[in-house]
Chains A and B, each alone.
Chain A
């Protein structure tokens, strides 16, 4: 049986769909998926049009971590843990903002693989900013106007939050690195406790890119150090994806409609400079540059 059927309602070129297929394949479909309200839920679980080939539950927007914890505990209570791994698939909004129950799941270290599918905004409702929307992005609630040029806040560091809770395995990945996703999910499946994997998922509709540019843009996010690909085990950094030749952030920002205003308005230059500083800090913090200057 397929783990995720065809005929689902995702936009052509959707990064979430790439990530989800690889997550489920890594687990050979032996999993229980808890999914929060959002793009993934809407495209896959309409009554009568279910795309899932694995046991799946959608409850609310803000409680997926607790629901997953409940599944994990119920399986333990009745001796059915061997049936499969409990996996959360949640968007960035559901994770970083409204997903309050995440902290309880980490705190009590329930045996759950929490996967945040990060397309950097509330895309399902039309591209509103979330805690994981990066600086400078134009969303419908942080638009580019005369006074304000997109989001002025920063991208919340969910990796740090997961580490602060003592999660035994914390990693980031990207939909454009499917083998990396599979490796990390398999690794997480062999670790007991509340694990966190954040996967960068390009969004054709929200970011304003074409399906054929998804892989290029996704890779640029990594090559500019704006999306560090890292791996922590028991709080220690065990792997990073190094960048051979770091690219300037403009190359990543320019092809996307969500950043276009930065190239039109003269004040955009300052914001681009700030974004470059963020990239530089990331590279330094994780040692991403292969060549040492």
Chain B
């Protein structure tokens, strides 16, 4: 059913259709409206077999979900930025305990200085945790991602937490016409959560045991193996979703103009803008293509190598920085391209919600193709450092 709704509603609606058992809420801009919409649904009795808990912090919210998920419940929460970092201790723990918790992260910059506006610094800080990360371009993709997230996370070959990343404000608060899913479609796509091992008095098990050196390493190898298997499972689920919904979002990446010599690569809502920019540059005669990276973890290194095997130059648009080194996507891409002869230009822009005008972006990429623009922060104002 087509409806013009805001991003946060499209997420909340999809979560409702996935029949969660425990939903935890803690407010943080710009995700708050997601949990508010769910609260309304809960108050109106639209969430069956569900308990909605107003946690006292994001750390508490994630911890409640750990207990709930271990007991066999399907769980959900949404957070970002400070909240994500606050719950990071629990998320690392949940990943190690192989609990398929689904989180929507409404990408927001990290303090200090405080910023409620969008960049990818928060989810990048969690990239080592063992959590699957999917970045969506628009609200329809966010809506579609939720049932897929549960399917993938709860798959016995995976069993890891799943983070759907959507740009704060740019997507969460934007109105879009969304083809809202029907309950019957989600029910046939997503079966009820039936964990193999869970807390029950019928079969007492101990969760979260500690592992001395003689055995810890194998647990981490097993997690990495699960991440590797997730690549294939995600591919399967993406393909099945395309058939079920009629919307094909691609695989771990989407490549536009695969024969191009120059590629622009990025994640999130900026990709929507880049589609237009790439078209305009091609009209000007540049052999430029676009790579939308959807799955950041597990990182699809082989897919990227294959897509860029004949590329002359790759222009990476990062919206986060690993302080002391480079933009996160650039670091990972360069590692994936080790040995390749392609040139990589690493550009960091749009931090803290800094606007990226289309003309500015077009000029930037054009100059990068022509070798007139190098790596570094882009769109920075003229400033001087002062100690007050």
Contact = CB atoms under 8 A, between A and B. Distances in A.
Interface of A: 1, 29-32, 34, 41-42, 45-48, 50, 52-60, 62-63, 66-80, 83-84, 100-101, 103-104, 107-108
Contact of B22 (A55, A73, A80, A84): A73
Given A47-B215, A107-B56, A60 B51 contact: no
Contacts of A54: 201, 204
Contacts of B71: 32, 70-71, 74-75, 80
**Overall SS of chain A's interface:** mixed
Contact of B207 (A31, A57, A84): A57
Contacts of A45: 206, 208-210
B171 to A, nearest CB: 29
B89 interface: yes
Given A66-B59, A73-B73, A74-B73, 15 more contacts: A1-B204, A45-B206, A52-B204, A52-B206, A56-B204, A58-B206, A63-B63, A67-B67, A69-B53, A70-B64, A73-B22, A74-B22, A77-B73, A78-B72, A80-B200
Interface string B56-77: 1101110111111111110000
B211 interface: yes
22 contacts: A32-B201, A45-B206, A46-B209, A50-B209, A53-B204, A57-B67, A58-B208, A62-B59, A63-B60, A67-B64, A70-B63, A71-B68, A71-B199, A73-B22, A74-B67, A74-B68, A74-B69, A75-B71, A77-B21, A80-B71, A100-B59, A104-B57
Contact of B200 (A41, A52, A53, A83): A83
A59 B90 contact: yes
Contacts of A58: 206-210
B50 interface: yes
Interface residues of B, number: 43
A30 B50 CA distance: 24
Given A47-B211, A77-B22, A78-B73, A59 B205 contact: no
A77 B49 contact: yes
A56 B205 contact: yes
B201 A84 contact: yes
Contacts of A52: 204, 206
Contacts of A108: 53-54
B55 interface: yes
B200 A55 contact: yes
Interface of B: 21-22, 49-51, 53-57, 59-61, 63-73, 89-90, 93, 97, 199-212, 215
Given A71-B67, A73-B53, A76-B51, A57 B208 contact: yes
A290 B379 CA distance: 79
A39 to B, nearest CB: 13
Nearest to B202: A83
Contacts of B93: 59-60
Indicate the member of B21, B60, B66, B203 with the most A CB atoms within 10 Å: B60
A66 B55 contact: yes
A158 B109 CA distance: 38
Interface centre among A41, A66, A75 (most CB of B within 10 A): A66
A106 to B, nearest CB: 10
Contact of B55 (A42, A62, A79, A104): A104
B50 A77 contact: yes
Given A56-B207, A77-B51, A104-B60, A68 B201 contact: no
Contacts of B205: 55-56
Contacts of B56: 101, 103-104, 107
Nearest to A73: B51
A1 B203 CA distance: 11
B210 A69 contact: no
